Structures are given as structure tokens and as C-alpha cells.
Amino acid sequence: MCYRRLSAGFTLIEILVVVTVIGIIVSIGLLSLSVLGDDRQLRIEARRISSLFAAAQDEAVMQGREFGLELMQSSYRFVEYDPYQSRWLELEIDDIFRSRTLPEDLEFDLLLEGKMILLSAEAATIADPNSTNVSNTSKKYAPHVLIFSSGEATPFELRISRRSENQVVILAGDVMGVVDIMTAEEQADALR
């Protein structure tokens, strides 16, 4: 009687074939996620704006101040209302609420009350608060989104898009100042 010894493991060739197949499947999965998935940079910018908006809302409530958010095509800044001078002032020395520019190839679209707002490329001019000469243009200045000391805010829909790749992330703010971040697909599903 001759018994053959049964091997208890896999051969090196079998292991290499399995590892290669798994590698190919993972590669295809990663490529499809990067092509079809959300743009990570869009989400980061959306979270940054949402966090800054919440911080401005907290400051407004705690200090009894009125803030505003001015949006340009690819940048934004926060401003503060001075009730003593009855005008908006730029927050120049505040590092948290400083003017910010989006990364290259990202743009804003703003909807207020369901209407698209035409955004300029540059920030509007705000008169120097130490100047005694207040021009008519500075009196007419108003930011796009208001953040009141009561905690309420102007309802808005802000779209951050990368047009070259047709990707969009939407920030939807309600009258209570709650900001939701979603993709266009998530917004369409929510409306159904």
C-alpha cells in the first residue's frame, strides 16, 4: 500500500493568480470611484464654508452683531454691519473671517429665493470707515447672505462646481441658519 501525501496548501502560482485578480478588481474599483465619485476638493470647500457660516452665526448670536457673506465668482468674504455708522464694514483683522479664494477651476453659483444671482469677479468696494466722505456706492452695498444676531439667516442655495468635470456640491441654508451639504443627485432625491 502506497499512500500519497496530500498537500495541505496552495502552490505559489495559485497565490499569485489570486493576488493578481484581486489587484485588478481593486484597480477598476478605484478608477470608477475617482471618475464617478464626488470631487473631494468640492466637499472640503463646502464643509469649510459651512463651518465658517456656523462660526459667524455663533458670533452674531453671542455678541449681538450682524454679519454678511458676500460671494464672488470664485471667492468670498464675511462683512459686519456697524449700526453706529449704518454701513457694512470689511473684517480685515479677523483671520477666521478673512477673504478666501476657491482653488483653481472651482466656481460659485448662488440662488436666492429660487433666482440665480449674477456674481461679480471681484469684491464690491466698501468705503473706509475712517473716511468722512461716504460715497453713494458704499451706501448701496449689501452682502448676498445676511446672518442676524437672532441666529436667523437669509435662505440660500450655493453651488460649488467644477465645470470641467461637471461636478457640483450644494450648500442649502434655511432661515434658521442650518446649512445642509449635498450633491445634485442627493438634492434631486430629496425633492422626490
The per-residue pLDDT for range 74-107, each reduced to its tens digit, is 999 999 999 998 899 988 778 889 999 999 889 9
**Confidence at residue 15, expressed as pLDDT on a 0 to 100 scale:** 82
Percent of the chain with pLDDT over 70: 81
Cell 471681484 locates to: 122
Distance between CA atoms of residues 75 and 144, nearest Å: 13
For 40, the grid coordinates are: 473631494
Distance between CA atoms of residues 91 and 83, nearest Å: 15
Q: What are phi and psi of 133, to 5 degrees?
A: -95, 105
CA-wise closest residue to 96 among 47, 124, 42, 55 = 55
pLDDT over threshold 70, residue 5: no
| pTM exceeds 0.75 | no
**Confidence at residue 156, expressed as pLDDT on a 0 to 100 scale:** 95
- Domains of the chain (ranges plus CATH)? 40-191 (3.55.40.10)
**Confidence at residue 18, expressed as pLDDT on a 0 to 100 scale:** 81
**Confidence at residue 46, expressed as pLDDT on a 0 to 100 scale:** 93
**Confidence at residue 37, expressed as pLDDT on a 0 to 100 scale:** 47
